[in-house]
A and B are shown apart, each in its own frame.
Chain A
Amino acid sequence: MDPNAAAETADTLAIHGIDLAIVLIYLAALPAFGLYFRRYVKTGQDFFLAGRMLPWWIISFSIIGSNVGATDYVGGAGGAYRFGIVQASFEWIGAAPAIVLSALLFVPYYWKAGVYTVPEFLGRRYNESVRGIQTILWALFLIFHIGLLFWASALMVEEYLGFPKVVGFAVTAIVVGIYTITGGLAAIAMTDVVQLLIMFVGGVFLTVLGLWHLGGPSGFIETLQSHHQSHLHLLQPVDAEPYPWPAVVLGLGFVAAPAWWCCNQAMVQRVLGARSEWDAKAGMLFAAFPKMLIPIMTVVPGLMALAMAPGIPPEEGDTAYPWLIKTLLPTGLAGLVFAAILAALLSSVDSILNSTSTLLTKDLYQKYLVPDGSDRHYLAVGRVITAAGIVVGIIIAPLIAHFRGIFVAGATMLAFFQGPTFAIAILGIYWRRATGWGGLAGLLGGVGISSALFGIFGLEGIAFFYVAWWSFLGSLAFTVVVSLLTPPEPVEKLEGLVYGLVMKDPEIQDRLAQRSRGGGE
């Protein structure tokens, strides 16, 4: 195959009528299905936490549906094309261990505390300043993430269908807006389950077809071993770019991934809507298994594109996946895979919108602006903020074009505060002596270290995993030192929030159970 064919082919191949029909049916059916769950939304708890009725398997599928976005297909395949299988680190060392930690250490405390958000938990554990700062940081990141996903949708629609970007914005806004604004978390979780199935069917199909095209798995691996040996190692040397092993193991494995899976509202939210503590833990833990399979649909296609067309310029690696679709798939099946990518995209947008709405409604609006509103009032505010999130996402989407890769853009933003967030979260749960002032100092000090590193090296001059690592260590140090210099917190404040205090006292367990039944407020 002509190694320079990729860019040319991407411009000339088109989706046919039947492909478009499949996509349109999917786009019409999704909001209709989501709208069905509108009838179950009567209160704020129904809207934000699905009435705390979610079983473990829906939680699990919804978590992965939310976690895997179009950026994973396009950016993941692009990264694999450029850097190799190390791109799968985000799904392996960057997910499974952190998910185990989240399920068996963090989730039980969140669930027992009966909170709506992670910042609310940290606010109870430390103080309201920590809660406020956490809320602002996560809300900014989530809004940025919404913009990133809108940009990805616009790129997809332009690249695959040849429509202008505004069509991508409009389709995403309308389809997601309909069921997210009306049905809340229940509609999101249920549509996520369906979308995950579509994602797997479409994604795996492309991989199977690509392997067949390359002469089966053995032919694929032989091609890579012959010409791209360095692309087949998960652990890269210290001087390798952009994923050397210290960055992947220490920055991603120890800090960024646990911060994402333990402290990110968008990942934790459906766990808080679980029908029991076991469902909450199991829902999170089971997510590790589908997550480990994601590289089959994202990284492997990138490597297949490399084996078939090694001539795509590295800076255009993100075109590898669209090129594969247009090259490999016959009429009708291209529509299925396109629907799969769209499903990944929409299932992420809806979850992030709902999480942003929850954060802003519970942690800012209710906390600081209108603390005594009725439940219906907060339900209405949650819906308005969801709609506003869509508008803001569209407005900031073009900013994403200034970053060198849509996958890297989100990670760079997150690098500012994920290290400090994880540091104060794990100390908060594991170390009884951590104080409110210590947590605040750790959070601010850690963000200060991140800002200083980005200031010294520039936004793209330092790998974000190193920023996460050093800001994590700095935050740990700040928290410990300031905690030891300030008076310890009273035991009553820590009940149910710190390891060792919640499991031993039946009286505390009862109080927590009552607090949970009351919705946490």
Chain B
Amino acid sequence: METLEYIIELRWLEALPLSWVKYAVAILFVALAAWAQLRKSDFIFEGAPTRRRWRDLRLWALAAMAAQVVIYVLLG
């Protein structure tokens, strides 16, 4: 039972320093922002009445993920 708990509760990850985890999480946020930047303009603006810059949802995604990076680097 203890072995099962050890596996299921991912305790085998305890050797990983928390500082590494913090930066790994930050990299994941950056990766998601980068993925958003790779969406094509036609997809991003589909259905939008204009293509003004503030309607570019890639920038919204970038701003959201930038905030996450700051939060987790400071408070991780």
Contacts and interface: CB of A to CB of B under 8 A. Distances in A.
Interface of A: 85, 92-93, 96-97, 99-101, 103-104, 108, 232-235, 237-239, 244-247, 249-250, 253, 276-282, 285-286, 288-289, 292, 453, 456-457, 462-463, 466, 469-470, 503
A131 B74 CA distance: 43
A99 B61 CA distance: 9
A85 B72 CA distance: 11
Contact of A278 (B10, B11, B13, B45): B45
B9 A100 contact: no
B47 A279 contact: yes
Given A93-B68, A234-B72, A285-B64, A245 B57 contact: no
B60 A282 contact: yes
A280 B68 CA distance: 23
A85 B75 CA distance: 9
A138 to B, nearest CB: 26
Nearest to B31: A97
Nearest to B72: A234
Contacts of A244: 9-10
A245 B61 contact: no
Contact of A96 (B14, B67, B76): B67
Interface string B45-65: 111110000010100110111
Contacts of B25: 93, 235, 249, 253
Given A100-B61, A101-B32, A235 B9 contact: no
* Nearest 8 CB-CB pairings of A with B: A276-B47, A277-B47, A278-B48, A278-B47, A246-B10, A238-B14, A288-B64, A234-B75
A286 B60 contact: yes
Contacts of A101: 32
B9 A463 contact: yes
Contact of B18 (A96, A100, A235, A250): A235
A469 B42 CA distance: 35
B76 A470 contact: no
A232 B55 CA distance: 36
Nearest to A286: B60
Contacts of B43: 108, 503
Contacts of A462: 8-9
With a 10 A CB-CB cut-off, give which of B10, B39, B68 has the most chain A CB atoms: B10
B10 A238 contact: yes
A51 to B, nearest CB: 16
Nearest to A509: B46
Nearest to A254: B28
A250 B10 contact: yes
A184 B47 CA distance: 25
Interface string B2-44: 0011001111011000100110010011001100100110111
Contacts of B71: 92, 234, 292
B59 to A, nearest CB: 10
A239 B9 CA distance: 9
A489 B52 CA distance: 40
B76 A100 contact: no
A97 B10 contact: no
Contacts of A99: 64
A247 B72 CA distance: 16
Contact of B13 (A96, A100, A233, A246): A246
Given A232-B75, A238-B13, A277 B64 contact: no
A289 B57 CA distance: 13
A289 B67 CA distance: 9
Contacts of B39: 104
A103 B4 contact: no
Contacts of B45: 278
B7 to A, nearest CB: 9
A108 B64 contact: no
Given A233-B76, A466-B10, A100 B21 contact: no
A503 B41 CA distance: 12
Contacts of B13: 238, 246
A463 B9 CA distance: 8
B28 A97 contact: yes
Contacts of A96: 64-65, 67-68
B8, B33, B45: which has the most chain A beta carbons within 10 Å?
B8
Contacts of A249: 21, 25
Contact of A92 (B28, B46, B72): B72
Contacts of B33: 100
Contact of A100 (B22, B40, B65): B65
27 contacts: A93-B72, A96-B64, A97-B68, A99-B64, A100-B32, A100-B64, A101-B32, A104-B39, A108-B46, A232-B75, A234-B76, A235-B21, A235-B72, A249-B25, A276-B48, A277-B46, A278-B45, A278-B48, A278-B49, A279-B47, A285-B60, A285-B64, A292-B64, A462-B8, A466-B10, A469-B10, A503-B42
